[in-house]
Amino acid sequence: MDAAALQIEDLSKVYPTGTEALRGVSLEIPQGDFFGLLGPNGAGKSTLIHCTTGLAMPSGGTIRIFGHDAVEHYEPARAAVGLAPQDPNLDQFLTVAETLDYHGGYFGMPRHERRERTTELLETFSLTGKRDDRTRTLSGGMKRRLLLARALMHRPRLLILDEPTAGVDVELRLELWHYVQRINAEGTTILLTTHYLEEAEQLCDRVAFINDGQIVAQGTSPELAAQYGVSSLEDAYLELVGRKELSRAHIQADVA
Amino acid sequence: MSASRIRFFSLLRREVNRFLKIKRQTVGAPLLETFLYISVFGAALGSRIDKLHGIDYVVFIVPGLIMMAWATNAFSNNSSSILQQKFLRAIDDQLSSPASPIQLLLAFSLGGFLRGMTVATLTFIAASILIGVPVEHVLVLIPALFLVGFFFAQMGVLIGVRAEQFDDVSFAQTFVLQPLIFLGGVFYSASLLPEPFQTITHFNPVYYMIGLVRYGFLGYSDTNIALSLLFLTAATAALFAFNLRLFNRGWKLRA
Parts of chain A belonging to CATH 3.40.50.300: 1-80+157-218
Q: How high is the mean pLDDT of chain A?
A: 93
Q: Which CATH number fits domain A1-80+157-218: 3.40.50.300, 3.40.50.720, 3.40.50.1820, 3.40.190.290?
A: 3.40.50.300
Which whole-number Å values give the CA distances from B12 to A103, A127, B8, B33, B158, in the listed order? 13, 26, 6, 27, 17
CA A123, A129, A130: angle at the middle one, nearest 5? Answer: 100
Across the interface, whether the CB atoms of A105 and B17 are under 8 A apart is answered no
Q: What is the pLDDT of residues B22-45, one digit of tens each?
A: 988 888 888 888 888 888 877 777
Q: Is the pLDDT of residue B17 over 80?
A: yes
Give residue A242's pLDDT band: very low, low, confident or very high (50, 70, 90). Answer: confident
Across the interface, whether the CB atoms of B18 and A57 are under 8 A apart is answered no
Across the interface, whether the CB atoms of A102 and B100 are under 8 A apart is answered no
Q: What is the pLDDT of residues A6-36, one digit of tens each?
A: 999 999 999 999 999 999 999 999 999 999 9
For chain A, the residue count is: 256
Q: Is the pLDDT of residue B136 over 80?
A: yes
Return the higher-pLDDT residue of A170 and B154: B154
Which whole-number Å values give the CA distances from A120 to A24, A131, A149, A153, in the listed order? 41, 12, 10, 10
pLDDT of residue B222: 84
pLDDT of residue B97: 98
pLDDT of residue B151: 97
Mean predicted confidence (pLDDT) in B236-243: 97
pLDDT of residue A232: 85
d(CA A183, CA A206): 17
Q: How far is B188 from chain A (nearest CA, A)?
A: 40
For chain B, the residue count is: 255
Q: How far is B14 from chain A (nearest CA, A)?
A: 7
Q: How far is A56 from chain B (nearest CA, A)?
A: 4
DSSP bridge pairs for B197: none
Query: DSSP alpha helices (H): ranges in A163-220?
Result: 170-185, 197-203
Mean predicted confidence (pLDDT) in A63-75: 97
Q: With contact defined as beta carbons under 8 Å apart, do B132 and B59 qualify?
A: yes
Q: What is the pLDDT of residues A92-135, one digit of tens each?
A: 989 999 999 999 999 999 999 999 999 999 999 999 999 999 99
Best interface-test mutation with B: which of A91, A132, A136 has the largest number of B CBs within 10 A?
Answer: A91
Chain A residues with at least one Cβ partner in B under 8 Å = 15, 47, 50, 53-57, 74-76, 78-79, 81, 83, 85, 87, 89-94, 98, 102-110, 150
Please indicate if any CB of chain A lies within 8 Å of the CB of B11. yes
Q: Is the pLDDT of residue B182 over 90?
A: no
Please indicate if any CB of chain A lies within 8 Å of the CB of B164. no
Residue A175 DSSP SS3? helix
pLDDT of residue B237: 97
Q: With contact defined as beta carbons under 8 Å apart, do A27 and A53 qualify?
A: no
Q: What is the pLDDT of residues B75-134, one digit of tens each?
A: 999 999 999 999 999 999 999 999 999 999 999 999 999 999 999 999 999 889 888 889
d(CA A77, CA B123): 46
Across the interface, whether the CB atoms of B93 and A15 are under 8 A apart is answered no
Across the interface, whether the CB atoms of B9 and A105 are under 8 A apart is answered yes
Which whole-number Å values give the CA distances from A204 to A115, A201, B223, in the listed order? 32, 6, 70
DSSP bridge pairs for A191: A35, A160
Cβ-based contacts of A108 with chain B (< 8 Å) = 2-4, 6-7, 98
- The sign of the torsion formed by the CA atoms of A44, A50, A56, A61 equals positive
Closest in B4, B21, B98 to A93, CB measured: B21
- Within chain B, what is the greatest distance between any pair of CA atoms? 59
**Least-confidence region, from A75-79, A219-223, B43-47:** B43-47
Secondary structure of chain B as H, E, C letters: CCHHHHHHHHHHHHHHHHHHHCHHHHHHHHHHHHHHHHHHHHHHHHHHCCCECCECHHHHHHHHHHHHHHHHHHHHHHHHHHHHHHHHCCHHHHHCCCCCHHHHHHHHHHHHHHHHHHHHHHHHHHHHHHCCCCCCCHHHHHHHHHHHHHHHHHHHHHHHHHCCCHHHHHHHHHHHHHHHHHCCCCCCCHHHCCCCHHHHHCCCHHHHHHHHHHHHHHCCCCCCHHHHHHHHHHHHHHHHHHHHHHHHHCCCCCC
Give residue A256's pLDDT band: very low, low, confident or very high (50, 70, 90). Answer: low
Please indicate if any CB of chain A lies within 8 Å of the CB of B228. no
pLDDT of residue B34: 82
Name the residue type at position A239.
E
Q: How large is the angle between the packed helices B138-162 and B225-249, nearest 10 degrees?
A: 30
Q: Are strands A206-211 and A34-38 parallel, antiparallel or unpaired?
A: parallel
pLDDT of residue A1: 59
Name the residue type at position A75.
E
DSSP bridge pairs for B46: none
Give residue B50's pLDDT band: very low, low, confident or very high (50, 70, 90). Answer: confident
Q: Are strands A206-211 and A158-162 parallel, antiparallel or unpaired?
A: unpaired
Q: How far is B176 from chain A (nearest CA, A)?
A: 29
Q: What is the pLDDT of residues B192-205, one digit of tens each?
A: 788 888 888 889 99
Q: Is the pLDDT of residue A247 over 80?
A: no
Give residue B166's pLDDT band: very low, low, confident or very high (50, 70, 90). Answer: very high
Mean predicted confidence (pLDDT) in A165-188: 90
Q: How many CB pairs under 8 A join A and B?
A: 89
- The sign of the torsion formed by the CA atoms of B251, B241, B105, B182 equals positive
Q: How many CB atoms lie within 10 A of CB A73?
A: 13
Across the interface, whether the CB atoms of A110 and B10 are under 8 A apart is answered no
Q: With contact defined as beta carbons under 8 Å apart, do A101 and B9 qualify?
A: no
pLDDT of residue A171: 87
ipTM of this complex prediction, to 2 decimal places? 0.91
Q: How high is the mean pLDDT of chain B?
A: 92
